[in-house]
Every structure is written in C-alpha cells, then in structure tokens.
Amino acid sequence: MTLWFTAALIALTGAVRAEVLLSADEIEQALSFGPWPPSFHTDPSNRVSNNARAIALGEALFNDPVLSVDGAFSCASCHDPEQAFTTPEARALGRVLLDRNTPSLRNLAGLRWYGWGGKSDNLWAASLHPIIEEQEMAHSPESLKTAMSESAYTNDFEAIFGVIQNQGPELVLVNAAKALSAYLGTLVTDRTQFDDFRDALERRDFPAAAYYPEAAQRGLQLFLGRGNCVFCHNGPRFSNNEFHDAGVPYFLNETEVDEGRFSGLNFLLSSPYTLEGDWNDDPDRQGAWAVRNVRRSHADFGTFRTPSLRGVAETAPYMHDGSLKDLNAVVRHYSKINTERLHADGEAILSQLNLSEQEIADLVAFLMTLSKAPY
Ligand code: HEC
Ligand code: HEC
C-alpha cells in the first residue's frame, strides 16, 4: 500500500514539475508542423486516385513480382510494408547495387517533386519508372501488357481501365502506375507524441502539453533556433520538398559523382510522364507550371530533396546514400558539418553547430517523437 502510494506521489509530483519550456514564438512555430494527419488529397492528374478498386489493385500489384519482367522483384522487395516501406540496406539492391537509399513511401500525396533528385513531378510517374528501369523491374511496356493480360489481376484491371487488348502497351503501363499511385497516396504515417504536444499547445492546454518530455522540448528548441533545421525541414511533413546540399559526400567512387538534382532535372525534362505530358488526366494541368518553369543550373549539382522527418526513427540508415547509420550519426553530421565541402551555392544556412553531448541527445529525443512508439 505504502509502496503504491509513494509511486503515485512521485508520478504526480513529476507531472506537476514538468512544464512547457517553449517561448510564445517557439509555440507559434511548433504549430506550423501540423495539424496531422493531413486531409485526403485527390490527385487531379490521376483519375483513379480516389477509386477504391484502383487502390486495392495498386496494393496487390505493389506486393506482386508480376511487375518485374522475370518475377525477380516486387515493389515490396525494396519498399517492405513491414519495414516502413523501406529496407535496412544503405543502398537499394536491384539487379545491381543502386546508387541510392530506398525512401519510405509514406506521406507522398500532393508533393511537387519525387525521388532524391526530383526526377518526377507526380506520383504515378514515380511509380512507373521502377517498372521499366533496367536495373530494377526491367519490363518493357509490351512485356508488361502481356504479363498483365496473363495475370490474376486481369479482371480487376479491366473493371477499372477497360479491356487490356484495346489498350496500347504504354497506356497499360501508365494505368498500372496510376493504380500503384492511388494506393501509395493512401499511405500516411500515424499521429505521434509530437502531434499530441502540438495540438495541446494549439488548445492552450499547457498541463497536457507538459507531458511531452523536456529533452524533446529542448531538442525542438534547437531544431527551431540555433540548429536552424526548420529552414529546410518545415511544414507538417518537416520538409520544404526542395533541393539542398546537406554536406553528404556525393562521390560514388573515385571517378563518378551522384549529380543529384542535376541528373534529376535532365531526366524530368525529357520524360513523357510529367504533368505537362499527354498522360496527365487533368485538363487544367494544375501544377504543371513547375516542370514548365524549372531550369538546370550549376547549383543543382549534388543537391537532394529534403526528406520528410515524419516516421524517421523507423527508416535507418539515412541520407540519399544511406551513409549515416542512425539519428545520432545524423545529428553529429550536422554538428561537425564541413562547410568547406558544401559545393552548392547559397547553402550558407548550414554551419558547424558544435553541439554538446546533451544537445545531441536532446535533438535525437525530439526526432524520435516524430515517429510512433515503439520504434
Ligand atoms: C530495387 C529496389 C527498388 C524497387 C524494386 C522499387 N523501388 Fe521505388 N525506390 C527505390 C529507390 C532506391 C528509390 C530512390 C530513387 C531515386 O530517387 O533516385 C525509390 C523511389 C521511389 C519513389 C519516390 C519516393 C519519394 O520519396 O519521392 C516511389 C514513389 C517509388 N520508389 C515507388 C516504387 C514502386 C511503385 C515500385 C514498384 C513498381 C518500386 N518503387 C520498386 C528502390 C526500389
Ligand atoms: C539546407 C537545408 C537543410 C537544413 C538546414 C537541415 N537539413 Fe536535414 N536534410 C536536408 C537534406 C537535403 C537532406 C538529405 C541530404 C542527402 O541525402 O544528401 C537531409 C537529411 C536529413 C535527415 C535524414 C532523413 C532521411 O530520411 O534520410 C535528418 C534526420 C535530418 N536531415 C535532420 C536535420 C536536422 C536535425 C537539422 C538541423 C540540425 C537539419 N536536418 C538541417 C536538408 C537540410
């Protein structure tokens, strides 16, 4: 009885002592990371993006090796639904070792750019490329059409998109990608401890907000303040979805570099699958201004899309090449960043933070609360 009482008292006094450390300004900034989840986003460029049958077909196709020419892979081989839609390897293993880390596929609806280098401006194009990419699933539109017409999905596919034999191979490819994209558009990370904190702040319910650990609050203060992480990791997804050089080495080997956004733009500007192209279902071409106006410049070399930090604790290793093994390593990377090496112009925003061990632990504690426990 006494023991129980003491424990309760400690819990109670602990709760009473806890407080919200944020200033009024910091609270305002914290609110900008929500609300979460976002409302469902239909994709006007994909007429089946809100179609329940297409979503179900997309999920089935995603998990089925029928999308690779020899049945060697499914999308899920690299984007494993059991592992937050990624795999723990630093760089993805396709038919050869690919140059980049496999991104987790959650929270992708409605972005302006897709891929580390932004080679797509819409989600169905980003879903289409791996099907025909030689180092990945290696289908041709023709072999895909044959595979789809001989698969277990023929009826579902035809119920949504019409008779396969009446469709050209490229249309079959685009339709399959639109079903995949309809499914991917539904993947959203769960609410987290951070969201409870943020919403309590919005309600001005400070006793409830005070349940958010103080270490995470101090980490958030660094994220907003001295760390200036919020410059790039902002909004409800913690990403500006633009391209930056965050100081990760971009040499693939002694002679080759990963050009990042530069090669992404080369690809994008010659792709038939952009919002400007014929396969866009939206007569108004919403969003196509981006691809229409984008230009390559030297500053694009070695820049990569700012990743979202939602669910980040579940998706180690980190960065476009998977070179940093955990969140602690990422924070240490920013703390000791070599600014001489930042090659893109105008990244003056990053500087050596020289964080103390306590500050490193606080920033990691904050980042952890952007995922749903247990991690
Ligand atoms: C061999 C491993 C592998 C397979 C198989 C694979 N992917 Fe990926 N996926 C990757 C990698 C690596 C990237 C990052 C590529 C880049 O940005 O250069 C990626 C990127 C993506 C993106 C962009 C994500 C973002 O954050 O912008 C989407 C969407 C995607 N894949 C969907 C799919 C679909 C759908 C399939 C099946 C048709 C598939 N992937 C098959 C490894 C794979
Ligand atoms: C100038 C923009 C910018 C700033 C400022 C910035 N980041 Fe990043 N962040 C990026 C980009 C770009 C990447 C991907 C870099 C790459 O892969 O080469 C990244 C990657 C990450 C990742 C890895 C995510 C993943 O899925 O691989 C984490 C975690 C992260 N940043 C946290 C932080 C923290 C914490 C701070 C502040 C100390 C910070 N970032 C400041 C742009 C920025």
Distance 8 CA to ligand 2 centre (A): 41
- Which residues touch 297 (CB under 8 Å, ≥6 apart)? none
- How open is the CA angle 327-330-334, to the nearest 5 degrees? 140
The ligand 2 atom nearest the CA atom of 248: 18
**Token pair 């035809």 in the structure block, residue:** 158
Ligand 1 within 6 A of CB of 75: yes
Domain ranges of the chain: 19-37+189-250+302-368, 52-184
Distance 130 CA to ligand 1 centre (A): 6
Pick the CATH number of 52-184 from 1.10.3720.10, 3.20.20.80, 3.40.50.300, 1.10.760.10: 1.10.760.10
Given this model, what pLDDT does residue 251 score? Answer: 84
Q: How far is CA 177 from CA 80, 105, 158, in A?
A: 18, 14, 14
- Under CATH, which number does the domain 19-37+189-250+302-368 receive? 1.10.760.10
Task: Indicate which residue's Cα is closest to atom 12 of ligand 2.
Answer: 306
* pTM above threshold 0.75: yes
Ligand 2 within 6 A of CB of 244: yes
Q: How far is CA 365 from CA 194, 200, 215, 226, 368, in A?
A: 11, 19, 6, 16, 5
pLDDT per residue as tens digits for the range 292-346: 999 999 889 999 999 999 999 999 999 999 999 999 999 999 999 988 878 666 5
For helices 169-184 and 123-132, the axis angle rounded to 10 degrees is 120
Per-residue pLDDT of the chain (375 residues; tens, 9 = 90+): 444 444 444 455 554 567 999 999 999 999 999 999 999 889 999 999 999 999 999 999 999 999 999 999 999 999 999 999 999 999 999 999 999 999 999 999 999 999 999 999 999 999 999 999 999 999 999 999 999 999 999 999 999 999 999 999 999 999 999 999 999 999 999 999 999 999 999 999 999 999 999 999 999 999 999 999 999 999 999 999 999 999 998 888 888 999 999 999 999 999 999 999 999 999 999 999 999 999 999 889 999 999 999 999 999 999 999 999 999 999 999 999 988 878 666 577 899 999 999 999 999 999 999 999 765
**Token pair 């500006």 in the structure block, residue:** 240
pLDDT per residue as tens digits for the range 78-109: 999 999 999 999 999 999 999 999 999 999 99
Distance 164 CA to ligand 1 centre (A): 26
Task: Indicate which residue's Cα is closest to atom 19 of ligand 1.
Answer: 102
Domains 19-37+189-250+302-368 and 52-184 share a fold: yes
- Residue 6: both structure tokens together: 């003491």
